[in-house]
Amino acid sequence: MAIAQFWRDRKRRKRVRELLRHVKQFRNLREDLLQPDDLRRLCAAESDVRSLLKERGAADALEQAGEALYRLLLDLSPGKAWSGLRENFEILVVAIAVAMGFRTYFFQPFKIPTGSMEPTLCGIQAAERKPGLFDRMPLKAFKWAVTGQWHLTVRARNSGEFASETDQDRMDGRVYQVCYVGGRRHKLPRGAEPYFQSGDFVRKGDVLWSGIRTSGDHVFVNRIAWNFRPPRREEIIVFRTDGIPIPSAPPGTHYIKRLVALPGETVSIEGDRLVVDEQALPDPRRRAMDKLADEVFPEYRRVEAGMWPVALPETARVSPSPGFSLDQRAYFTLGDNAASSLDSRYWGHVPEANLVGPAAMVYWPLSKRWGAIR
């Protein structure tokens, strides 16, 4: 019994010491804001507790004095309205700050909007398809969360004459399909072709297009790697387009391409060969295709491997033979899908100051490309 009483008294004294520590902090913070009478009451109660703490055999009196001091501390503490909401808000602010710091200094997320890096990385795609079992709620949401695929049906919001045209894409100079019904604009997913032709009459509720819209790959970019080493040839990199003469890229746009030539080198494209400092290099798009089964991207079988077809105007190219020389702070980039990539062949080098970092991994959707990027 004596041993049990000893441990109970010990725990009481420990709680009282912790209470005195809080009282001291409170007094230091609010001493100049308390009323003189309140301050005297607090100091007197604190002194009584400290005196009893030094005595032996006064455990009951110490506990009563401690409770009185605790109640006085609560009475003098300022009340907090919506304390639960305030606490959750503070946690949310801290979480956002940590996430923003992680994004700014370590790994930054980016979305691939176009097909300029296919088949290594895929942009937003659309394919006409009837809905299946997993294209109905609630399984539809689960399918999208895993695969990034969402079955979409675009219906006319009004009646009128149908008209279609193409709009310039802000990100990569690509185009996408839009249509008008009675002058009202309807946007279709990238690559979708409407079911009507210009001049047709469309009734409100008619289906303009229906199929699967696949989200572009979402990647993490390593923002710290180049603090410890220089960029390497063959890396897939992200860079800002600020100051680069790309008419279709608004300020603040980021591009993702493969790095093929380093500062001080001379680049030329001779027929089907990429030549850097008079040495032919492998076609990065060809190598990327070799790493993936043909059945994954059957639409690329028709593209002749190893060629550099010109989808954009020939006169726009800045890297004709005999070559395009880079200065000591410039890099040359190409898209793996060379037939449809607005890259350094058309607007020149990427300044070193524009570099963000190498693409590290695809984190969503969970496709065959998920994981580390090569």
Residue with tokens 């490309």: 369
Of 62, 54, 63, 27, the closest CA to residue 43 belongs to 27
pTM: 0.65
255 contacts 228 by C-beta, under 8 angstroms: no
Q: Is residue 113 part of a domain?
A: no
Residues 14 and 48 in one domain: yes
255-284 tens-digit pLDDT: 999 999 999 998 887 766 778 888 887 665
Do the domain assignments include residue 94?
Answer: no
- 206 is in which domain, residue-wise? 125-214
At residue 37, the pLDDT reads 85
Spatial neighbors of 225 by CB under 8 A, at least 6 apart, are 357, 358
Q: Tell me the two tokens of residue 223.
A: 């923002």
The predicted pLDDT at position 223 comes to: 92
184 and 294, same domain (yes or no): no
Q: How far, CA to CA in Å, does 99 sit from each of 90, 92, 161?
A: 14, 10, 49
User: What is the structure's pLDDT at 222?
Assistant: 93
- Low pLDDT (below 70) residues in the chain: 1, 57, 79-84, 86, 165-177, 271-272, 282-322
pLDDT at 90: 77
Residues 307 and 265 in one domain: yes
Residues 338 and 334: their CA atoms lie apart, in Å, by: 7
Do 40 and 183 fall within a single domain? no
Same domain? For 64 and 202 the reply is no
Q: What's the CA angle centered on 336, arms 364 and 351, to 5 degrees?
A: 95
Residue of 323, 319, 342, 333 whose CA lies nearest to 232: 333
For residue 111, being part of any structural domain is answered with no
Instruction: Report pLDDT for 351.
Output: 94
What tens digit of pLDDT does each residue of 104-160 get?
A: 778 889 988 888 898 889 888 888 888 888 888 888 899 989 999 999 999 999 999
Distance of CA 3 to the CA centre of its chain: 60
pLDDT at 84: 64
What is the predicted pLDDT for the residue at 169?
45
Strands 273-276 and 330-334: unpaired
117, part of any domain: no
Tell whether 351 and 250 lie within a shared domain.
yes
CA angle 69, 72, 75 (to 5 degrees): 155
Q: Both 239 and 309 in a single domain?
A: yes
Same domain, 176 and 278: no
pLDDT at 167: 53
Give the CATH number for residue 156.
Answer: 2.40.50.100
Could you list the beta-strand ranges (E) of 136-232.
149-155, 160-168, 175-181, 184-187, 201-202, 207-214, 218-222
Beta bridge partners of residue 207, listed in sequence order: 155
Can you state the angle between helices 36-54 and 2-30, rounded to 10 degrees? Answer: 150
- Residue pair 152/189 in contact (Cβ under 8 Å)? The answer is yes
